[in-house]
Every structure is written in C-alpha cells, then in structure tokens.
A and B are shown apart, each in its own frame.
Chain A
C-alpha cells in the first residue's frame, strides 16, 4: 500500500539551530515529491517539487533533497517566522497525491 510517513511529528528549535525533517515513502512508481508549508487556518503553500533521486532544491533557509526512499527538508539557521507545519506529498503512477501528517515546527526566539 502506498504510504508517506513524516518524522518527527513535532520539533522545537532555538532560533539559529539547524535541523532536518524527514519524509519516507513507499509508492509504486514515484512521479514527484512535493513539500508544502501550512500555517494555522490556511491552506498548504507550495515550496518544492523533486522528481528524481539525487535532486536538490533550495529556497532561502530551506533545502530539500530526495533519495529513492525518502526526502529531507533541511532548515538552516531557522527564524521564528519559519514556525509552521511542513507537509510532504508524493505523486505515484496511480495519479493520486498522498500526503503525510506533517511535522509541526516551532522556532523559539
């Protein structure tokens, strides 16, 4: 069964303390892996798309990487405004998007 698992469920960091979020997946035929940020009461905001193992994407303090089994979202020197829930989604050959339950990130000033 196609599945997406994100860890940790929650993460508290001091401002400036770098860390990584994990998204592991088991799907038949990965078409793409997507990272989103979701703030309370809002819809998910698109961050990155990764299509193949070895691919990396960067945007400000965020960097996403992809292997054949998992993806990492690296956060370098986070700021309080980076606090949000980060969602990972995979698109498989069955055409569906499967979302993980997210990592809730809190950055403390």
Chain B
C-alpha cells in the first residue's frame, strides 16, 4: 500500500512537552498539506509544503507550531509546549507534482493527539 503514512496514530503528551507528528506522502507526490480536525468541526488547513519549502502557512498558529518537509525523509509537524487546546486529530495529505492546487489531495489516517 503506497498511501499516505502518518505516525504515530496516537500520541499522548503532558502540557509543556513537545509533539512531533510525521507524514510520508504517497509515492511520487511532492506536495504535502497538514490539517487539524476538532470534534464537531471541519478540517482546518494549516500549512502547505513542497520539498524544502513552505508554500503557504496561513493556517498555522503564529506561535509554538512549525512544519518542515526536508529533501530526505518525512514531513514533520512540530508543536512545542503543548496545551490542552492542541488536542485534536492532525491529518496529512499529499498531491502529485505539477498543478498541485488543482489535484485532489490524498489523506493519511491521521494522528490523534491527546494532551494530559
């Protein structure tokens, strides 16, 4: 299965700790997107990346959140000094190169982050 792989599936952190969420895009895909989903709410766009570049981070909170997509390895969403309000499901999606914004995005099964 060459789908979008996210890990871990579940992550528990205490307030003040750091959370690192990883995403490996589908084979051949070079665009990565991160979304956050809260209960009873829709998916909210956070950031759009290509290899070694952040293209659009307009949905990212200004503090504590960062994302990267290095030349080698998975994309990482990093949340520093987590707070209870960070508890959510975080989804990664990828799309093929070319007109990235015109291609459907294919999603992983998400990371459920719980903050104690």
Known: A43-B4, A101-B41. 16 other contacts (CB 8 A): A4-B42, A32-B102, A34-B105, A42-B110, A43-B6, A43-B91, A44-B43, A44-B107, A45-B107, A46-B104, A46-B106, A89-B43, A91-B101, A97-B105, A99-B42, A100-B42
Cβ–Cβ contact B109 & A97, under 8 A: no
- CA–CA, A95 to B95, complex, Å? 14
On whether A96 and B107 interact (CB within 8 A), knowing A31-B101, A91-B101, the answer reads no
A43 — nearest CB in chain B belongs to which residue? B107
**Residue numbers in A under 8 Å from B102 (CB-CB):** 31-32, 51, 91
Interface residues on A, range: 20 to 34
Q: Cβ of B45 < 8 Å from any Cβ of A?
A: yes
- Report chain A residues within 8 Å CB of B48: 95
* Residue interface bits B65-109, CB-to-A below 8 A is 1, else 0: 000000000000000000000000001010000000110111111
Q: Are B106 and A101 in contact (CB under 8 A)?
A: no
- Which residues does A use to contact B, with CB under 8 Å? 4, 31-32, 34, 36, 41-46, 49, 51, 87, 89, 91, 95-102
Contacts of A36 in B (CB 8 A): 107
A102 touches B33 (CB 8 A): no
- Contacts known (A41-B109, A43-B4, A44-B91); A97 close to B45, Cβ less than 8 A: yes
Taking CB as reference atom, which chain A residue is nearest B48? A95
Q: Name B residues whose Cβ lies closer than 8 Å to a Cβ of A.
A: 4, 6, 33, 35, 40-45, 48, 55-56, 58-59, 91, 93, 101-102, 104-110
A93 to chain B: closest residue by CB: B101
Report which of B43, B58, B101 forms a contact with A87, defined as CB distance below 8 A. Answer: B43
B33 CB contact (under 8 Å) in A32, A49, A51, A97: A97
Q: How far is the CB of A55 from chain B (nearest CB, A)?
A: 14
Q: Is the CB of B56 within 8 A of A96?
A: yes
Cα-based distance from A101 to B106 in the complex (angstroms): 18
Nearest-CB distance from B107 to chain A (Å)?
4
